[in-house]
Amino acid sequence: MDRHRAALSRGRPNQVPRWFVALVAAAPVLFVTVFYAWPVATLLWSTLDDAATGSPFRHIAGIVWFTVWQAALSTALTLAVGVLPAYVLARYSFRGRRLLTAATLVPFVLPTVVVGAAFIALLPDSWHGTPRAMIAAHVFFNIAVVVRLVGSMIALIPHDLVGAARTLGASPMKAARLIVLPLLRPALWSAAVVVFLFSFTSFGVAKLLGGPTNPTLEVEIARRATQLGDVAGAAALSVLQLVLLAVVIVWTSRRQRRSSVELQGAAAPRRPRGRSQRRLVVCVCAATVAIIALPMVALVTRSFRVAGDWSMSAWTKLGTTEVRPGAGLGVDPLASIATSLRFAIVAAAIATVVGFLAAAAINASPRAGRVLDAGLMLPLATSAVTIGLGMLITFDTWPVDWRARWWLVPLGHALVAVPFVVRALLGVLRAIPADLRAAAATLGASPIRTWWEVDARAMRRPLLAGVGFSAAISLGEFGATTILTRSGTETLPIAIGRLLGRAGALPQAQAFAMATILLLLTTVLVVASGVHERAGIDA
């Protein structure tokens, strides 16, 4: 027995050799270290180094307080609004359920500029620049989080558990309060934390809807960097934001009770029976559709209205933003679309290659892989503006004089896209039965060849899905791009932001037209990728 054990621990003859894993992991490790870890470290260091004057912290308390309470209110409202759709979609089966569930995801994947523009189009003028508008947009944006996280938990609660409470004399309200709600608490916390973080670091929505009078911390950081040129002050505020976020994450992870309850029994969605159940389903679905669709409809509609009249001129005049003969906004909308598409292809290429290598490496070595996985997820938790700012101050001297290079922006996009590619690939990789690899080995394939034939082949479809998601993320990225953008090569979101900053009727309508284009591009990419991903999982 011992001899066998010794033999097993001595070599790894059937597994991919360590040097191969290291080689594969090299690129992703380098990628996240050079383009994320180093800039963030530089940012943190710069606040110790530079004597950041007191000025960025003047009245910062007011800005921080505003950021906190609007995020908290957004969270509360999102939970309140999202719980019923989550319940109905998890509990009841009806025609169109899957479509509606997928539809709730759409606001979440939309570029923040599009969401901001849609709400400017939807809300009355008196709401512009008010916290109300920002909070409404946050709710719209984040409903998907509640539907997914809370809904997936609701879908685990057996019907009979509630039935037991009912036969013991609990009215439906009491059953919900005493049985369902306590079981949902962990999911509600998770959803609350995620929504809070997103609302706290929200940039596109905050900038477009909050206006200069109601800046959040993120907007103030960007303002300091790009409008006042006070990079040191911006860096100091970024660090403050990182600290605040860390505090929130630590505090909530302590309070979140790990739920280890065993739930048995059927919880699958059932057809609604009876008039009241049917009415509930119809009402909630209608309301959900309204919440999701109205802003989008408003956006598209407003692109056809110029100064109160129906007109196609916003669309026909997309080649230019001329204000007076010869003088324009310096933004070429059509060129910005081309720039965005080019950047999207590049970002998707980088993200897919890095994600592919990372997923392979993570799957091959469980322990070290976890570290790499966590490292690659970090850019998602960091605010986009902070990432851009870090890059800006790090890559400005030889030999890393990259600040002015065109590829820095798509690289920043790739940083945020890689975790999604990795997640999609890992899901498929982990589902490969070990016997499949064993079969290849017994047929004469070397470990590396086996890897290529089995693992790499399985990743093909999710890889295409990853390409699509990465491109969609790149198209819509706004925060880091705002910091890094160079005149003459604006992306579509930047151009939309610029046009929305003008009070004229035509530029506004043009902004809505471009936002509609961005909306269509993103939706097509996400839907196509989603189809591929599902096909990949089923395959």
Partner 1 sequence: MKRFLAVAAVAGLAVLTAGCGSDAASGKPAAITLVAYDSFPTEKTSLNDALDEFTKSTGIPVKIVIAGDAGTMVTKAKLTAGNPEGDVMWGVDNTLLSSAIDGKVFSKYQPNGANAIDTTLTALAPGHEVTPVDFGDVCINYDIEWFRSHNLQPPGSLDDLTKPEYKDLLVVENPSTSSPGLAFLLATIDNSGDKGWQDYWKALRANGVEVVDGWTTAYDDEFSGAAGSTGSKPLVVSYGSSPPAEVIFADPPRTDAPTAVVDSTCFRQVEFAGVLRGTDHEGEARKLVDFLISSRFQKELPLNLFVYPARTDTTLPAEFTKYSVVPTNPYTMDPAEIAANREQWQDEWTDIVLR
Partner 2 sequence: MLDVIGVSVAFDGRQVLDDLSMHVDRGEVVAVLGASGAGKSTLLRVIAGLLTPDAGRVLLEGVDITDRPSHLRRIGMIFQDEQLFPHLDVAANVGFGPRMSGWPAPRIATRVEELLDVVGLGGFGERRVDRLSGGEKKRVALARSLAPEPALLLLDEPLTGLDRELHDRLIVELHDVLRATGTTAVLVSHDADEAAALASRILYWTDLQPV
Residue numbers of the site for partner 1 (CB under 8 A)? 55, 58-59, 62, 212-213, 223, 225-231, 307, 323-331, 342-343, 345-346, 348-349, 352, 392, 396, 401, 403-404, 406-407, 457, 460, 463-464, 467, 486-489, 498, 501-505
* Look-up of token digits 């938990």: 153
Question: Is 449 or 457 the residue whose CB approaches partner 1 more closely?
Answer: 457
How far is Cα 216 from Cα 258, in angstroms, rounded to an integer? 32
Residue 174 near which of partner 2, partner 1, none (CB within 5-8 Å, type-dependent): partner 2
Contacts of 284 (CB under 8 A, 6+ apart): 84, 85, 87, 88
What stretches of 211-312 show up as alpha helix (H) in DSSP? Answer: 217-226, 231-255, 275-302
Residue 227 interaction partner, one of partner 1, partner 2, none, beta carbon < 5-8 Å per kind: partner 1
Q: For the CB of residue 155, give the shortest distance to partner 2 in the complex, in Å.
A: 16
DSSP 356-424: HHHHHHHHH-HHHHHHHHHHHHHHHHS-HHHHHHHHHHHTTSTTS--TT-TTHHHHHHHHHHHHHHHHH
Preceding peptide of 399 cis, ω within 30°: yes
Q: Would you give the end-to-end CA distance of the chain in angstroms? A: 40
Task: Check if the beta carbon of residue 475 is closer than 8 Å to that of residue 526.
Answer: no
In the complex, minimum distance from the CB of residue 328 to partner 1, in angstroms, rounded to a whole number: 7
- Return the number of the residue (251 or 407) whose C-beta is nearest partner 1: 407
- Residue 366: name its binding partner from partner 1, partner 2, none (Cβ under 5 to 8 Å by kind): none
**C-beta of 306: minimal distance to partner 1 in Å?**
11
Among partner 2, partner 1, none, what does residue 457 contact (CB within 5–8 Å per kind)? Answer: partner 1
Nearer Cβ to partner 1, position 298 or 329?
Answer: 329
Q: Which residues bind partner 2 (CB under 8 A)?
A: 158, 160-161, 163-172, 174-175, 179, 182-183, 260-265, 271, 273-274
Of 287 and 353, the one with the shorter C-beta distance to partner 1 is 353
Q: What pairs with residue 306 in β-bridges?
A: 309
User: Least distance in Å: CB of 273 to partner 2?
Assistant: 6
In whole angstroms, give the CA distance from residue 354 to residue 118: 34
Is there a contact between 425 and 458 (Cβ–Cβ < 8 Å)? Answer: no
By C-beta, is 84 or 170 nearer to partner 2? 170
* Residue 430 contact, options partner 1, partner 2, none, Cβ 5-8 Å cut-off depending on partner type: none
- With CB under 5 to 8 Å by kind, the binding choice for 183 among partner 2, partner 1, none is partner 2
Considering the complex, what minimum distance in angstroms separates the CB of residue 110 from partner 1? 24
Q: Whats the size of the chain, residue-wise?
A: 539
Cβ atoms of residues 142 and 80 within 8 Å: no
**Of partner 1, partner 2, none, which one sits near residue 460, judging by CB under 5 to 8 A according to partner kind?**
partner 1
Q: Which amino acid is at 33?
A: T
Q: CB of residue 445 vs partner 2: minimum separation in angstroms?
A: 45
